[in-house]
Amino acid sequence: MRTTESDVIDRRQRELAFLKQHVHTTTNEMASEFDVSLMTVNRDLHMFIKKGLVLHDYGDVVWIGDAMPSSQISQQRMEVLENTLKQAAGGSGRVLVSTSPLTETLTHELADRGFHVMTNQLVLPQEGADHLNQIPVLTGGQLNRFDDWLSFYGNTAVQSIKHFDADLALIYATGFSKRLLTTNTLYESVIARTMLENAQKTIVFLADNAEDYEATSMIVKRERLGRVQVIS
């Protein structure tokens, strides 16, 4: 059976969780655990090594990844960011919003203002919403937990985003260095990159500790951001 990009991302994310939990393992144990070849394990480890997450020596694998900075937004910043992002949305009619601490509030407020909103975060309808356009559209897809939120990812989510014809994407990033714009997981990275590539305009808003930090997974190289607006 053909392995899809979604399958690879899912496996690598599970490998990271396995490595972090076990700290010390071997390539043979990983191959057995994930039912893949040693060549596949070594290829995945090469990417983790480049990120400074593991050491690999003669079949032994050791997790050395430091604890990531909190991917949260302080209450004080949250209120300022909400107002800034709502103003920046301007007259854009169709808006994509990625998973973030702001997403639930932001999607409902934009929908209440008449915007057509799609998000990959699992948000519940607000009480009193009596029109369909007051309810954010969910991408659907496979569901997973990121920090305190449940979010959709995978091929269904990606295709939903591609077919949304968005005027604006509001994307959350947990790392923003001189080289890269990044997120904490591969799932988030793929969703964010898809939103960036398929919206006419993109605004990136950052976690509290994102400046001068590279999280695990790249969204895009910084020099390719072009006209993307970044709000710290």
Residues 6 or more apart whose Cβ sits within 8 Å of residue 15: 30, 34, 44, 48
| Per-residue pLDDT at 227 exceeds 70 | yes
Q: Mean pLDDT score of the chain, rounded to an integer?
A: 88
pLDDT in tens, 179-214: 899 998 888 999 999 999 999 999 999 999 899 988
Q: Which of 58-67, 122-131, 219-228 has the highest mean pLDDT?
A: 219-228
By mean pLDDT, which of 59-63, 95-99, 214-218 is the weakest? 214-218
Query: By percentage, how much of the chain surpasses pLDDT 90?
Result: 50
Separation of first and last alpha carbons in the chain: 44
Confidence at residue 66, expressed as pLDDT on a 0 to 100 scale: 62
Burial class (CB in 10 A: 0-12, 13-18, 19+), 137: middle
Q: Which of 129-138, 188-197, 220-229 has the highest mean pLDDT?
A: 188-197
Contact predicate 166/95, CB 8 Å: yes
Residue 76 has φ and ψ, to the nearest 5°, of: -65, -45
Global pTM value? 0.79
pLDDT in tens, 84-128: 998 888 877 999 999 999 999 999 999 888 899 999 999 987 766
Query: By percentage, how much of the chain surpasses pLDDT 70?
Result: 93
Confidence at residue 40, expressed as pLDDT on a 0 to 100 scale: 93
